[in-house]
Chain A
């Protein structure tokens, strides 16, 4: 049976989320690397740069589409999208 992904997928939204995942992957890699190389200045600088980039992208995403983390929410929204939007295992945007 073909369950299909949600119709009318917004490719811009998809692309932005993919960008966030890529940046977060770099952060995860640097995080684990730094745990065993805690004095690597270059890795620490990169972590800072990518962390700032991730926060910016998550803020953009939250404003356009909805929240990804509870520390960055759109206070102008009249809706608690954290709970009303699909959860990531549904295979829509993730």
Chain B
């Protein structure tokens, strides 16, 4: 169960709209390495996780990712607020606008809809935690790519915050993998799968 806090994890206050850059940033909402996929990945993987501390990491990072896609949505929303039809046409935002007007919808920058195939819930501790570590790095790379394209400090500031969180999460997943390995056969981590073999 969850509780909502009526504030963003880090402030988003954008004064200048920019629908072109919004189309790029929306990828971190519904794209392959976005925050929605991250959250759903971790929250899905935790049920069969045999170690309580690791299930805690998955729950708490999965929860933080909810707050992250809320920030991404706030950025996209503020970048596209009060646009005129002319601004929509000129910026190339028309292809998104025709289906969603100015509402938020999870998709990748290239228009591909959010899809659960963007993540795995494999049911094997080592496999899942290794995917989680990769996921954090993929998101970090995406934020690096965004920061090369965006110059507006109102946008860069919250993006830098999100980028830094990927690095912290990568660290915690690394520790979670170590905890899992300490619970496995030290001569052969792959001797059995504690999520299935009893």
Which A residues are within 8 Å of any B CB, using their own CB? 1-5, 17-18, 20-21, 24-25, 28-29, 31-33, 35-38, 67-71, 82, 85, 87-89, 91, 93-94
Contact = CB atoms under 8 A, between A and B. Distances in A.
Most chain B CB within 10 A, of A4, A32, A70, is at A32
B49 to A, nearest CB: 12
A35 B60 contact: yes
B70 interface: yes
A27 B176 CA distance: 19
A78 B70 CA distance: 30
A67 B6 contact: yes
- Lowest 9 A-B CB distances belong to which pairs? A89-B74, A36-B175, A35-B56, A94-B8, A91-B13, A35-B57, A88-B8, A3-B81, A68-B6
Nearest to B84: A1
Contacts of B172: 32-33, 35-36
A24 to B, nearest CB: 8
A36 B78 contact: no
A87 B6 contact: yes
Contacts of A85: 6
B9, B70, B77: most-surrounded residue (chain A CB, <10 A) = B9
Interface residues of B, number: 37
B7 A89 contact: no
Contact of A3 (B5, B10, B11, B14): B14
B73 A89 contact: yes
Contacts of B84: 1
Nearest to B78: A91
A33 B7 CA distance: 23
B186 interface: no
16 contacts: A1-B16, A1-B17, A1-B84, A2-B17, A18-B11, A20-B7, A24-B9, A25-B9, A28-B9, A31-B60, A32-B172, A35-B176, A67-B6, A69-B3, A94-B8, A94-B13
Nearest to B178: A36
A21 B7 contact: yes
A94 B158 CA distance: 12
Nearest to A37: B175
Contact of B13 (A5, A31, A82): A5
B64 interface: yes
